[in-house]
Amino acid sequence: MTMGNNNHRGFWTTRFGFILAASGSAVGLGNIWKFPYIVGQNGGGAFVLIYLVCAFLVGLPIMLAEFTIGRKTNLNPVGAFQSLKPKTPWVGIGYMGMLGGFLILSFYGVVGGWTFAYVVKSITHTVGHFTSPKEASEFFGSFIANTGEVIFYHFLFMGVCVAIVLRGIHGGIEKACDILMPTLVIILFILMIRALTLPGAMEGVMFYLKPDFSKIGAQTILIALGQAFFSLSLGMGCMLTYGSYLSEKENLTSCAVYVVLLDTLIALLMGMVIFPAVFAMGLEPAEGPSLVFSVLPAVFTDMAFGTVASIIFFTLLAIAAVTSGISLLEVVVAYFIDQRGWNRKKAVLFTSGVIFVFGVPSGLSFGVLADAKLFGMTFFDHVDNIASNYLLPLGGMLTAVFIGWIWGTKRAEEEIEKHETTFHWAYVWGFLIRYITPVAVLFIFLARFLK
């Protein structure tokens, strides 16, 4: 198809490559690490249902909106809003997005570092040989409290992201995703079968699938919404930036549908791995950020080829985290390159340096700063909460209002329908993005604050 053309553009000229790239950004710690522990903390099945509604009713239309703005303008978020409505405050959405990317990467890098550490510890046989689930959990607890180790791996994770973003995003990542995404799904299936066959697993399945709405309140719904934004990489211009490299002939609607489906599938699958295991091992579903890191090593311990499984799992998790981390870094970097005229090297080194330093207190939030709480939450919790539960939904809502009411769905629909379709999904989308999506976000915000 692209024969005779410049081959490195091929990355974005095939629909498959684009879907993989966007999924590489979407699928990450949000699906594998965050989703299970948030479900665990918020009562299980009912939360999962609310999450699904948020992902498809709010997330999907916003993803399409971001793709559309990106492809229309071929610019970074700040530049994009500026070019569509010059000299208006709407450019603020772009700046808010940058701030969101900055905050998210600051703590994302910390957890990315944990995954690196667990790869190393699986190889050196420290992880995967526990005598009890409790021991696995205590091991993790003491690891994340160890200042030196946490900072070292955090630095390493950021270093890997820097090395990749310095070179620009190349076909290498696409090729890697090509193999990694299917491998990840296969490994998750194997783990799921293992978890489901553990004695006592059914209790976990019930917890995960049986909705108990008594646990749901305004705060829980806001958390589900925030998680949908986080997991789908929405609300901060990340998908906008990716869409900006997409060719005219691709069907934006189906790309968005595939990315949302794949991301959701992997999150749901991960829940099916964790909850049966949690209950079978007699652990607490509401354990929080340490959930995946303490439950899975316990499962690996008494599994055939447990060490191999552990190495592969944490390696995939680490790579999934890197492909998301670079997309976060790229948004901040793109701003300095496009809007400030910096060269790539300066932009990458400066922004990643500042983000790393700002992330240090998040890294220490499970050790020396564990008791330094404000309103009952650590530094890590606050950064995550502000970015995921407020900045992302707000950014997404404003994007919806912008495209639905300011720039206008008519122009957006034209952009979407460039690729002719038999059924005009663009009109369905136009209705959602004007009336349903922003109102849903607003309503969830209001419910939270008027409570």
- In whole angstroms, the minimum distance from the beta carbon of 182 to ligand TRP comes to 18
Between residues 165 and 283, which has the closer beta carbon with respect to ligand TRP? 165
| Tokens coding 82 | 């500026």
Between residues 106 and 301, which has the closer beta carbon with respect to ligand TRP? 106
- In whole angstroms, the minimum distance from the beta carbon of 131 to ligand TRP comes to 32
Between residues 231 and 437, which has the closer beta carbon with respect to ligand TRP? 231
- In whole angstroms, the minimum distance from the beta carbon of 451 to ligand TRP comes to 25
Max intra-chain CA distance, the chain:
63
Does residue 244 contact residue 80 with C-beta atoms inside 8 Å? Answer: yes
Backbone angles phi, psi at 232, to 5 degrees: -90, 5
Does residue 77 contact residue 335 with C-beta atoms inside 8 Å? Answer: yes
Q: From CA 416, how far away is CA 429, in angstroms rounded?
A: 10
Between residues 229 and 366, which has the closer beta carbon with respect to ligand TRP? 229
- In whole angstroms, the minimum distance from the beta carbon of 161 to ligand TRP comes to 11
Between residues 227 and 301, which has the closer beta carbon with respect to ligand TRP? 227
Residue 449, C-beta contacts closer than 8 angstroms, at least 6 positions apart = none
| Tokens coding 133 | 């689930």
Name which of 240, 181, 242, 222 is nearest 31 in CA terms.
181
Between residues 234 and 272, which has the closer beta carbon with respect to ligand TRP? 234
In the DSSP assignment, the letter for residue 388 is: I
Chain centroid to Cα 91, Å, comes to: 24
Name which of 325, 324, 342 is nearest 333 in CA terms.
342
The alpha-carbon radius of gyration of the chain (Å, integer) is 21
- In whole angstroms, the minimum distance from the beta carbon of 324 to ligand TRP comes to 4
Between residues 45 and 100, which has the closer beta carbon with respect to ligand TRP? 100
Between residues 290 and 301, which has the closer beta carbon with respect to ligand TRP? 290
- In whole angstroms, the minimum distance from the beta carbon of 141 to ligand TRP comes to 23
- In whole angstroms, the minimum distance from the beta carbon of 7 to ligand TRP comes to 27
Q: From CA 352, how far away is CA 75, in angstroms rounded?
A: 21
Q: What angle do CA 138, 299, 260 make, to 5 degrees?
A: 100
- In whole angstroms, the minimum distance from the beta carbon of 70 to ligand TRP comes to 13
Between residues 30 and 430, which has the closer beta carbon with respect to ligand TRP? 30
CA distances from 338 to 161, 239, 446 (A): 20, 17, 36
Q: From CA 62, how far away is CA 45, in angstroms rounded?
A: 25
- In whole angstroms, the minimum distance from the beta carbon of 198 to ligand TRP comes to 27
Between residues 164 and 238, which has the closer beta carbon with respect to ligand TRP? 238
State which residue has the least CB distance to ligand TRP. Answer: 30
Q: From CA 319, how far away is CA 115, in angstroms rounded?
A: 9
- In whole angstroms, the minimum distance from the beta carbon of 239 to ligand TRP comes to 8
Torsion sign (Cα): 221, 327, 75, 252 = negative
Backbone angles phi, psi at 377, to 5 degrees: -125, 150
Interface ranges with ligand TRP (CB under 6 A): 25-26, 28-31, 104, 230-231, 233, 236, 238, 324, 327-328, 392
Name which of 226, 197, 268, 307 is nearest 31 in CA terms.
268
